[in-house]
Amino acid sequence: MADPRDGELDVVGVGNALVDVLTHESDAFLVRHGLVKGTMHLVDEARAKRLYEAMGPGVEVSGGSAANTMVGVASFGGRAHYVGKVSDDQLGDVFRHDLRSTGVGYDTPPAAGGPPTGRCLILVTSDAQRTMNTFLGASVELGPDDVDPALIARGRIVYLEGYLFDPANAQEAFRHAARLAHTAGRKVALTLSDPFCVDRHRDAFVDLVERHVDVLVANEAEICSLYRAPDFDTALQEVRRHCEVAALTRGARGSVIVGGDEVHVIDAHPVDELVDTTGAGDLYAAGFLFGLSRGLDLAAAGRLGSLAAAEVISHIGARPLTPLHRLAEAISK
């Protein structure tokens, strides 16, 4: 695999900078608080406070979908950098220190004043499903001025997180980053993030995919929502007409990757025990994008995605506990 040249990065991620709080809860807890299992709910500061007080003991780490993906890229031995907004507060300091400790570059200036650092309350039920309640906080303050043209030009792939699409200013930051990347001859990748997110911004997402995105990462529910497709196969044929490469995950059924005339069905990597699906899509994206950035073919990149997803669902949390480069070396022998 081709290493980046001096100063070059494998992937630059742009997304919602959040602190993740993970805890185990029952289905009854979800019902009691009016939550739909397996989805992401946007909540205001007051609602986030009430849920936090009702939750049991949790684990707190820097998070956000694209940030988790960048940690995965770094775990493969890649060079990753992250762009996302936190506040100049205690949680912002935690986010900054924690993310940098994983080897991911991060230097977005904090927001002065305004809302506090965002957080995502992740409720994991006994079936390993995760239900997320996100207070976006300072992450909504990210705008085009936070996107450094020199940084974007250094990334082989610029990765945009669909969750960031809720604030209008962030949508413009997306388009700005995409234009900068293409001007520099780089690839633009997008994750759709969540079917509810797609429902809220379908037309804008379709426009982004058709005009600005080279590589699309989505799960089955998200891609069907994007094209209002009755089934996966219909959505698959639709996305092939609009995107250079699409990596579509299907849970235990693995993933399907399409690009030009190529179609690859990638089996899910075996896992001894399914513990927590938090971060499965984020880490699949990490492996896939790392593989693409290093010049692997689509199938090989998909296998790295499957490997990374299997590692992260075998334990609590959205970050790999075993260095992914070590696992990749083991399966390549």
What span, in angstroms and rounded, lies between the C-alpha atoms of 38 and 130?
5
pLDDT score of 125 more than 80: yes
Instruction: State the pLDDT at residue 303.
Output: 97
228: left (phi over 0), alpha (psi -120 to 50) or beta: left
The average pLDDT across 274-286 equals: 91
Instruction: State the pLDDT at residue 278.
Output: 78
Instruction: State the pLDDT at residue 2.
Output: 62
**pLDDT > 90 fraction of the chain, expressed in percent and rounded:** 74
**Does residue 320 contact residue 283 with C-beta atoms inside 8 Å?**
yes
Residue with tokens 């900078």: 17
Stated as kind and residue range, the H or E segment containing 10 is strand 9-14
What residues have CB less than 8 Å from 32, skipping those under 6 apart? none
Instruction: State the pLDDT at residue 164.
Output: 83
| Torsion 66-180-81-288 (CA) sign | positive
The average pLDDT across 84-104 equals: 94
**Does residue 118 contact residue 19 with C-beta atoms inside 8 Å?**
yes
SS3 assignment, position 217: strand
Residue with tokens 């190529």: 262
What residues have CB less than 8 Å from 214, skipping those under 6 apart? 187, 188, 189, 243, 244, 245
Instruction: State the pLDDT at residue 1.
Output: 53
Tens of pLDDT, residue by residue over 288-298, are: 999 999 999 99
**Radius of gyration for the alpha carbons in the chain, expressed in angstroms and rounded:** 18
pLDDT score of 4 more than 70: no
Please, which pLDDT band fits residue 155 given cuts at 50, 70 and 90?
A: very high
pLDDT score of 332 more than 80: no
Average pLDDT of the residues of the chain: 92
What span, in angstroms and rounded, lies between the C-alpha atoms of 40 and 51?
14
| Torsion 151-112-197-304 (CA) sign | positive
pLDDT score of 136 more than 70: yes
Q: With a threshold of 0.85, does the pTM exceed it?
A: yes
pLDDT score of 231 more than 70: yes
pLDDT score of 131 more than 80: yes
Instruction: State the pLDDT at residue 58.
Output: 84
pLDDT score of 233 more than 60: yes
The average pLDDT across 71-88 equals: 97
The average pLDDT across 230-256 equals: 95
pLDDT greater at residue 5 or residue 281:
281
What span, in angstroms and rounded, lies between the C-alpha atoms of 31 and 37?
9
The average pLDDT across 175-185 equals: 95
Instruction: State the pLDDT at residue 130.
Output: 87
Q: How far is CA 206 from CA 30, 42, 195, 211, 239, in A?
A: 32, 22, 13, 8, 10
pLDDT score of 31 more than 80: yes
What does DSSP assign to residue 116?
P
Tens of pLDDT, residue by residue over 296-326, are: 999 999 999 999 999 999 988 888 999 999 9
What is the strand order of the sheet 18-24 is part of? 40-42, 130-135, 118-124, 18-24, 59-63
pLDDT greater at residue 63 or residue 104:
104
SS3 assignment, position 214: coil
The average pLDDT across 84-94 equals: 92
The closest of 54, 56, 50, 48 to 19, measured between CA atoms, is 48
